[in-house]
Structure 1
């Protein structure tokens, strides 16, 4: 019994093996049907430790901590009879589910040295929401690429590894090479949400907004609304429509696919994409939609009880847009306290962003510039992609424009020589 990467699996059931391999591929591709496949694997073999571990990760992704912990504990208990590789694989999942992310990342590094083709054990280290992506380290993009490149020889033309390798290249400015790899990956698995997501990032970096719209016009109608990236890929589509000034179409794409209640995507994606897009609409010159901001606030309060770095980085947008000064100041105070105590990976970056957003709403343009200019080189610490962090860049550009500092805006744009994304900022006058 082996998985798709040739690794032994401790199950005697061919049905369990087949369903597990299908579930893992769906998870690696960000496709729908993951839980159904893993449930099928566990029905065929209730003692299959790796299937329990995979289910734990799925629960964690959707912020179901009790279920994630229970599945992880079952995986640990059942792994006693498994191989050394599987026991270590399960331990990686247990650490991540328990919130011990640095220890989990350390073990991933050790694990792939011995088992480089254990793709599912490697995957939590990959991407902008992975263990390296959320490490809070300024050099984490280069770190991820350096981590992945030596492993490429072990994966050959594998469609999954191509997506994570390509994404790491794109975030380091190598978007031409990344695009070619993403396109090759999609030739092998056209339904892969991760493959599509990677390609769209390459197009974004190149400023190829029309091409992104055309591609997604063809791909999205057949995509599954229940996939993990449903909201986020539609968010990219809405951004591309915004970039080509199709504002009504952008709003409709966003409203029907990204807002709370319109998608089953993970809460971190729904909240960050919703608050980010609403803010970007305003930067592009559209009026504020207070009712929609209220909807986002209600979703936040229902889903997030503890600080999460990428969520925290967007929290100030919501409170600032709603004019909820007391909540905003309380949030800034908490993020400052936790950051200064070393309890947040990005330290006080989230607090500084919230201060800048508060200043922006109050039209204190010089304060926005003073807060954001020194932060641009450090905002990578909050996690997320360069496309997502352009929220901060575009806010700074809008402050330049509104403060009648066009020369500084253009000088800032000229500093970034390896990127060509569109900047939908009212009054900037550039694409």
Structure 2
């Protein structure tokens, strides 16, 4: 029994193998149906250790921590009858779901030396929310590309590897090459949400907004709401519509696909995309939707009892907008203390961002500029894509505009001249 990459699987059931392979492909493409496929695999072979490990990873993606750890523990219990490759694969997943991400990344590197085509062991290191993306390192985008490039010869024309390789290229400014890879990947698996997301980024980074809208108009029409990327791709579509001046279409896209009650996407995506959209909408000159902000706050407090990378970079938005000064100051103090203690990958970046958002709501424009201007080169540490980090760029540009420092806003855009996606900021011409 082998998977799609020619790697041995320790199961005697062809039905279990086929369902597992389908489940893995669904995870790698961010399509719906993962849990059904893995349940089918485990029904056919309850002792299939790798299927339990895959289920653990699926639970982790959706922040179901107890379920993830239980499934990983089952995989560990069953690994005795598996190959050495599978045993290390299970160890990687177990490290990830128990919060030992740096150790997992180190083990992934060693594992790939022996098994470069173990795609599902490689996948957690990839992307802006992966082990490298959330490492807090300032050079993590270049690091990911260096990590992937030597593996390309092992994957050939594989649609999944083309997707993650393309995204890494795009984040390093190689938009044309990344676009060609993403288009080729989608030709092979048109329903791949990861492929659609990657192509969207290629178009955004190149400033091809109209082309991106046209692509998403067609692709989203047939997309599955249960996809792990459902909310996020609609978020991109909403921002494109807002940049094009169609604010109502943008708000409708978010209301129906991104707000907590409208999607089953992972909590980290729902919170960051909802809060980011609401803030960006105000920067673009639209009225504040207090009810929506309240729903996002309630969701945050229910889902995130403790700081978590990338979420930290958005939580200050909520408390600042709602005028909850006490909660904002408590949040800043906690993020500052944890950051100074080395307990947050991005250090004190989240605390500084929260201070800047509070200053922005208080209309202390010079304070916003003083906080954000030196921080912008460091913001990469929070994780997320270049497009997501435009949230901070937009805020800085808006502060320049509101303080009458238009020339400085233009000078800032010139300094980042290698990349000019649209930035809808009221009172400022798009870069």
Say whether the fold is shared (TM-score over 0.5): yes
Alignment partner of 1:11 is 2:17:
no
The separation in 1 between residues aligned to 2:358 and 2:249, in whole angstroms, is: 29
The separation in 2 between residues aligned to 1:123 and 1:11, in whole angstroms, is: 22
The separation in 1 between residues aligned to 2:90 and 2:64, in whole angstroms, is: 18
Q: Which position in structure 1 is the counterpart of 2:54?
A: 54
The separation in 1 between residues aligned to 2:36 and 2:151, in whole angstroms, is: 31
5 Å-filtered alignment, 1:70-149, equals 70-149=70-149
CA displacement, residues 388-425 of structure 1 (integer Å, 9 cap, x when unaligned): 00000010000000010000000000111221200100
Structure 2 residue runs without a partner (length 5+) = none
Q: Which position in structure 2 is the counterpart of 1:199?
A: 199
CA displacement, residues 181-209 of structure 1 (integer Å, 9 cap, x when unaligned): 00000000000000000000111111111
CA displacement, residues 111-137 of structure 1 (integer Å, 9 cap, x when unaligned): 011000000000000000000000000
The separation in 2 between residues aligned to 1:19 and 1:404, in whole angstroms, is: 60
Alignment partner of 1:322 is 2:322:
yes
The separation in 2 between residues aligned to 1:237 and 1:212, in whole angstroms, is: 8
Q: Which position in structure 1 is the counterpart of 2:407?
A: 407
The separation in 2 between residues aligned to 1:420 and 1:363, in whole angstroms, is: 27
CA displacement, residues 2-34 of structure 1 (integer Å, 9 cap, x when unaligned): 000000000000000000000000000000000
Alignment partner of 1:350 is 2:373:
no
Q: Which position in structure 2 is the counterpart of 1:254?
A: 254
Q: Which position in structure 2 is the counterpart of 1:225?
A: 225
SS of the residue corresponding to residue 137 of structure 1 reads: coil
The separation in 1 between residues aligned to 2:179 and 2:239, in whole angstroms, is: 19
The separation in 1 between residues aligned to 2:226 and 2:197, in whole angstroms, is: 16
CA displacement, residues 253-285 of structure 1 (integer Å, 9 cap, x when unaligned): 011000001000000000000000000000000
5 Å-filtered alignment, 1:133-212, equals 133-212=133-212
The separation in 2 between residues aligned to 1:14 and 1:21, in whole angstroms, is: 11
The separation in 2 between residues aligned to 1:309 and 1:153, in whole angstroms, is: 33
SS of the residue corresponding to residue 377 of structure 2 reads: coil
CA displacement, residues 337-369 of structure 1 (integer Å, 9 cap, x when unaligned): 000000000010000000000000011110000
- Normalised to the residue count of structure 2, the TM-score between the two structures is 0.99
Q: Which position in structure 2 is the counterpart of 1:303?
A: 303
The separation in 2 between residues aligned to 1:416 and 1:30, in whole angstroms, is: 32
RMSD: 0.6
CA displacement, residues 43-98 of structure 1 (integer Å, 9 cap, x when unaligned): 00000000000000000111111110110001011111000000000000000000
The separation in 1 between residues aligned to 2:154 and 2:365, in whole angstroms, is: 51
The separation in 1 between residues aligned to 2:430 and 2:73, in whole angstroms, is: 54
Q: Which position in structure 2 is the counterpart of 1:390?
A: 390
The separation in 1 between residues aligned to 2:416 and 2:166, in whole angstroms, is: 21
Q: Which position in structure 2 is the counterpart of 1:276?
A: 276
Aligned length: 431
Deviation at 1:430, TM superposition (A): 2.1
SS of the residue corresponding to residue 86 of structure 1 reads: helix
SS of the residue corresponding to residue 428 of structure 2 reads: coil
The separation in 2 between residues aligned to 1:110 and 1:14, in whole angstroms, is: 30
